[in-house]
A and B are shown apart, each in its own frame.
Chain A
Amino acid sequence: NAGVTQTPKFQVLKTGQSMTLQCAQDMNHEYMSWYRQDPGMGLRLIHYSVGAGITDQGEVPNGYNVSRSTTEDFPLRLLSAAPSQTSVYFCAVRAPSYEQYFGPGTRLTVT
């Protein structure tokens, strides 16, 4: 039982490149979210999904796309990376009781 997994753990991109951060869960929960964490800013919600086929924007959605074709997977796409997207990204899965479980994170640097 892996819980929430994220890949890659580290990534360096050049400005303008695109990439997809992967998130997968084996907890069979409907609700999944993507956060970014920056020093002094706390965790900020990028996008979230309440189930397969349903996604919505969070607090800081610009420059990111998501899709949810299955319960298990919730990838986050950076369309054209910018230095402002340098951050640590966490995927999270929320249980019906509102307890939230986080993946190990992806540290992204955009040069």
Chain B
Amino acid sequence: EDKVVQSPLSLVVHEGDTVTLNCSYEVTNFRSLLWYKQEKKAPTFLFMLTSSGIEKKSGRLSSILDKKELFSILNITATQTGDSAIYLCAVPGRANSKLTFGKGITLSVRP
């Protein structure tokens, strides 16, 4: 059965700090790994990673995948209070629609 484990489960930092969020996975027939940000409502898509070692970047957020060690990290530099959210990692399984999600990392950024 596909498995996604995220760590830490929660994190409190101060504005300006840099954070690293971890996601490890076990999946048959790996296709991609996806990161989402969830504030008060529905998750919104951040990144999709398919290749090892290639960093995806969007502003202060970046993510990289290691297919050999089966993990991904999401980095946020110069954190702001607006970065406070749950960050979800997911991998598609063998069945077409099945995304397996981790339990999420709750990030709180204090002023």
Contact = CB atoms under 8 A, between A and B. Distances in A.
Nearest to A51: B96
B96 A31 contact: yes
A102 B42 contact: yes
A42 B101 contact: yes
A103 B101 CA distance: 16
B43 interface: yes
Nearest to A103: B42
Nearest to B40: A105
Contacts of A102: 42-44
Contacts of B96: 31, 50, 94
A38 to B, nearest CB: 10
Contact of B41 (A40, A44, A97, A105): A105
A42 B88 contact: yes
A99 B45 contact: yes
A24 B48 CA distance: 24
A45 B43 CA distance: 14
**Chain B interface secondary structure, helix, strand, loop or mixed?**
loop
Contact of B48 (A43, A48, A97): A97
Contacts of A104: 41-42
Interface in A76-108: 90, 92, 94, 97-105
A33 interface: yes
B101 A43 contact: yes
B31 interface: yes
B92 A41 contact: no
A42 to B, nearest CB: 4
A43 B41 contact: no
A92 to B, nearest CB: 8
Interface of A: 31-33, 35, 40-45, 48-50, 56, 58, 90, 92, 94, 97-105
23 contacts: A33-B97, A33-B99, A40-B103, A42-B88, A42-B101, A43-B43, A43-B88, A43-B104, A44-B101, A45-B100, A48-B97, A50-B95, A56-B95, A92-B99, A94-B99, A97-B48, A98-B31, A98-B34, A98-B92, A99-B48, A100-B45, A102-B43, A102-B44
